[in-house]
Amino acid sequence: MVSTDTATLFLHPDRNLAMELVRATEAAAIRAVPFIGRGDKNAADKAAVDAMRAFLGTVNFDGVVVIGEGEKDKAPMLYNGEHVGNGRGPACDIAVDPIDGTSLTAAGRQNALSMIAVADRGSMLDASSVFYMDKIVTGPEGIGIVDIRKPIGENIRALAKAKGKAVEEMVVAVLDRPRHAQLIEDIRAAGAGTRLLLDGDVAGGINAARYETRIDICVGTGGSPEGVATACAIKALGGLIQGRLAPKTDEERQKGLDAGLQFDYVYSADELVRSENTFFVATGVTDGGLVDGVRRKGPIIRTESIVLRARSGTIRRVIADHLAEKWLGEDVSLPL
């Protein structure tokens, strides 16, 4: 007979789940490799989606995709509302992006990765009706100091003081988009430097919260789904994330209102993900500041992944060597 305490624990994601999820991001990253630098982002994405979905089907959990590939890229699989896993084990919300940075992969640029975020069922904010969100992310020093409603220059100066750094030493990551032209100008006018991201503000946000990186703040307007996924990681790092929905049309705003979303409102990490039991798993596709990309070393394919768990506050790096003959060739099935 299973005790009540044990049964209760079984309903929630546990530490073993994270290591199972790594297998799915590793598979997606490896399958994307033949398409790096080939100019076909759709082919890369399809290969990664197929691989991730195949592996997720073997995992002991009942996952519901809250943030999915299908919703974002109109793909036929891993769509919002899809059940993944074998149906046994904990009930979870899941956010997936088989390749965060399909354009980066197609161009052969850095910082493409495969990622999965998981939390207790019903805890992730479903912001799928509003595509964009204004976000700001820092490490723990920003809590109670940084506020997305304040001018960026004020936030930079306040965080620099909290970190004991000169403003001139501060580095702010921003997606390199025309919409951020004024923001970039304001950051530089404040005396800080910028780290312009071609894509992938999830990795940018995580790096802003990690103590060993050069990035102090990640700020700007990016995808709402990526904001929720980033929050799962930030809760494990003890950092700060704030998000404010940014609808582009009145119609999109009304869809958000109909879905129960709030506008002109700052969502905290605990509102983006209402759970202290979150996981974030990512495997590098191409080299980047967060993880190295997939590499071929003779008969071995090497992957590097990062695993973050909020409940224990742990960060693990997983370097895995995979026998290449198990992966190469169109007739070779995925080694489940």
CATH code assigned at 196: 3.40.190.90
Residue 325, pLDDT score: 86
Express as a percent the part of the chain with pLDDT over 70: 90
Residue 117, pLDDT score: 94
Q: Are 265 and 146 in a shared domain?
A: yes
190 or 336: which carries more pLDDT confidence? 190
Instruction: Identify the domain boundary among 272, 288, 305.
Output: 272
The overall average pLDDT reported for the chain is 89
Distance separating alpha carbons of residues 254 and 257, to the nearest angstrom:
5
| pLDDT (tens digit per residue) in 68-89 | 865 444 555 677 888 888 888 8
Residue 13, pLDDT score: 60
Domain membership of residue 5 (yes or no) is no
Q: Are 257 and 285 in a shared domain?
A: no
Q: Are 137 and 252 in a shared domain?
A: yes
Domain membership of residue 4 (yes or no) is no
Residue 80, pLDDT score: 80
Q: Are 163 and 219 in a shared domain?
A: yes
Distance separating alpha carbons of residues 238 and 240, to the nearest angstrom:
7
Residue 16, pLDDT score: 73
Residue 195, pLDDT score: 95
Domain count of the chain?
2
CATH code assigned at 114: 3.30.540.10
| pLDDT (tens digit per residue) in 45-66 | 999 999 998 999 888 889 899 8
| pLDDT (tens digit per residue) in 280-307 | 999 999 998 899 999 988 899 999 999 9
Residue 261 structural domain: 132-272
Binding-site residues sit at: 45, 69, 97, 100-102, 132, 177-179, 199-201, 223, 226
Residue 9, pLDDT score: 41
Domain membership of residue 336 (yes or no) is no
What is the rounded end-to-end Cα distance, in angstroms, of the chain? 32
Residue 326, pLDDT score: 82
Q: Are 115 and 193 in a shared domain?
A: no
Q: Are 222 and 252 in a shared domain?
A: yes
Q: Is the pLDDT of residue 207 over 90?
A: yes
Binding-site residues for Mn(2+) sit at: 45, 69, 97, 100, 226
Domain membership of residue 11 (yes or no) is no
Residue 69, pLDDT score: 62
Residue 306, pLDDT score: 95
Distance separating alpha carbons of residues 119 and 278, to the nearest angstrom:
5
Q: Are 248 and 141 in a shared domain?
A: yes
β strands within the chain, DSSP E: 62-67, 83-84, 91-100, 113-120, 132-138, 171-175, 193-197, 217-223, 240-245, 279-284, 295-297, 300-309, 314-323
Q: Are 266 and 290 in a shared domain?
A: no
- Most trustworthy range by pLDDT among 69-73, 87-91, 159-163, 201-205: 159-163
Mean pLDDT over 151-174 rounds to 97
Instruction: Identify the domain boundary among 230, 250, 272.
Output: 272
Residue 201, pLDDT score: 86
Q: Are 305 and 259 in a shared domain?
A: no
Q: Which of 108, 62, 117, 115 is CA-nearest to residue 85?
A: 62
Q: Are 102 and 210 in a shared domain?
A: no
Mean pLDDT over 8-29 rounds to 77
Residue 11, pLDDT score: 55
Distance separating alpha carbons of residues 176 and 307, to the nearest angstrom:
27
Give the β-pairing of 171-175 and 193-197. parallel
Express as a percent the part of the chain with pLDDT over 90: 69
Domain membership of residue 331 (yes or no) is no
Residue 222, pLDDT score: 92
Instruction: Identify the domain boundary among 249, 272, 295.
Output: 272
Q: Are 295 and 233 in a shared domain?
A: no
Residue 135, pLDDT score: 98
Q: Which of 235, 294, 241 is CA-nearest to residue 113?
A: 294
- Most trustworthy range by pLDDT among 72-86, 126-140, 180-194, 211-225: 180-194
Q: Is the pLDDT of residue 12 over 70?
A: no
Domain membership of residue 108 (yes or no) is yes
Q: Are 98 and 25 in a shared domain?
A: yes
Residue 77, pLDDT score: 66
Binding-site residues for substrate sit at: 100-102, 132, 177-179, 199-201, 223
Domain membership of residue 7 (yes or no) is no
Give the β-pairing of 193-197 and 295-297. unpaired
Distance separating alpha carbons of residues 74 and 223, to the nearest angstrom:
15
Domain membership of residue 294 (yes or no) is yes
| pLDDT (tens digit per residue) in 96-153 | 999 998 999 999 999 999 999 999 999 999 988 899 999 999 999 999 999 999 999 9
